[in-house]
Amino acid sequence: MTPVMRRWAASLAGAALAVTALAGISGCGTLGYYWQSTAGHVRLLNASEPVSEVLARPELSADLRARLLFSQSIRDYAIRRLHLPDNASYRRYADLGRPAAVWNVVAAPELSLDLHTWCFLVVGCVGYRGYYDPLQARAEADLLKAQGLETFVYGVPAYSTLGKVPQRGWLADPLLNTFVTRYSELELARLIIHELSHQLAFAEGDTVFNESYATAVERIGSRLWLAEEASPELRERIERAEAAAEARRADFRRLAMATRERLLALYRSPASEADKRAGKAEALAELRTGYAALKAEPDGPWHGFAGYDEWFASVNNAQLGVLAAYNAQVSDFERLYERVGRDWPAFYAEVRRLAALPKAQRDAELARGTAGAPGTPEASLSR
């Protein structure tokens, strides 16, 4: 897409739909916010080129060439084996010249883990608001702080238009330098699978459901790819590096989610606000102490690894609140995948059926394991 006025104007309709369809780029509905969202998305699309054209450049670095070729093999695998959409998604590449695609703002009250929400016509209410400019994201966070909320601003390497925008030509979700050149092969595979899965199912206003579902597909799909497609040399290298990384992630989730549950119980208790503040301070202090102890273990997987330092240094209710959105129901979706016989089309059909239910019913069915169970009406209808 060239930046001439005719193409710019033609892009606005698709981009406007994209920003109202995206949880990560949704806003309060003001004209100014929607304009920055629309313009930012159009600039992102405008920077993209077909991967085939990028690969044809003789001056292309060997590393980027290898990553782009790898991304296309993952894209093909996702279609062939995981039954993810066969469209133009991730067949284009854009170098944005920045470290993140967007910056999200999340916020929560001082004594609650319930995320502040923004509501929109297309996606319903979501617990984060995205900006293409980090300065604007931080300014929004400052306004929320002034209202007494705790905030967290974090860079997002990629986002999906959730199938709400036609995935054709320059409107398709592109590959970005923010993840192609910075992620390991396994991380890149996971991200592409995660974002593609959003195109197949979406529950309006339910961030936990949507992100847990995509995370489950990402985990299952990447394990299958590693077992079925990776060369022995690549598999050995990834498994060696992944063993330590997964151990760190497991430690992180264990510490963070235990503290989250502790704070949930505290905030819901009849204790006074003063006692809740004291309990919160104690819980967060113990969380940081536990993290320091992990890093100090001489024989553990951390060995002084500092990748989580910033998160623990600033940890607050907003960070703990958003963390749950990507993990809370993952195991439920993994069990659903097993219950439908590891049949991807049946799995996606069940997820779509659940997404159409009222939230309380959806959560209940998913949690108790009745969705997709062999012999149930739901299972037979989904096949």
- Of 162, 178, 89, 75, whose CA–CA distance to 126 is shortest? 162
pTM of the shown model: 0.81
What digits encode the pLDDT tens for the residues 72-95? 999 999 999 999 999 999 999 999
- Let me know: does 64 contact 12? Beta carbons within 8 Å: no
Main-chain dihedrals φ then ψ at residue 23, nearest 5 degrees: -60, -40
What digits encode the pLDDT tens for the residues 286-305? 999 999 999 999 888 998 89
Confidence of residue 346 (pLDDT cuts 50, 70, 90): very high
Q: What is the DSSP string of 143-162?
A: HHHHTT-EEEEEEES----T
Main-chain dihedrals φ then ψ at residue 124, nearest 5 degrees: 80, -145
Convert 297-329 to b/e letters by CB count within 10 Å (16 or more is b). Answer: eeeebbeeeeebeeebeebbbbbbbbbbbbbbb
Average pLDDT for the chain: 86
Give the tokens for residue 296. Answer: 């100090």
What digits encode the pLDDT tens for the residues 136-187? 999 999 999 999 999 999 998 887 787 777 788 888 999 999 999 889 899 9
What digits encode the pLDDT tens for the residues 251-269? 999 999 999 999 999 999 9
Give the tokens for residue 242. Answer: 């992944």
- Of 380, 347, 382, whose CA–CA distance to 200 is shortest? 347
**382, pLDDT greater than 50:** no
Burial class (CB in 10 A: 0-12, 13-18, 19+), 243: exposed
Give the strand pairing for 118-120 and 150-156.
Answer: unpaired
Main-chain dihedrals φ then ψ at residue 26, nearest 5 degrees: -90, 160
- Let me know: does 49 contact 92? Beta carbons within 8 Å: yes
Look at residue 327 in the predicted model and tell me its pLDDT.
Answer: 74
Question: Crossing angle of helices 273-296/232-268, nearest 10°?
Answer: 160
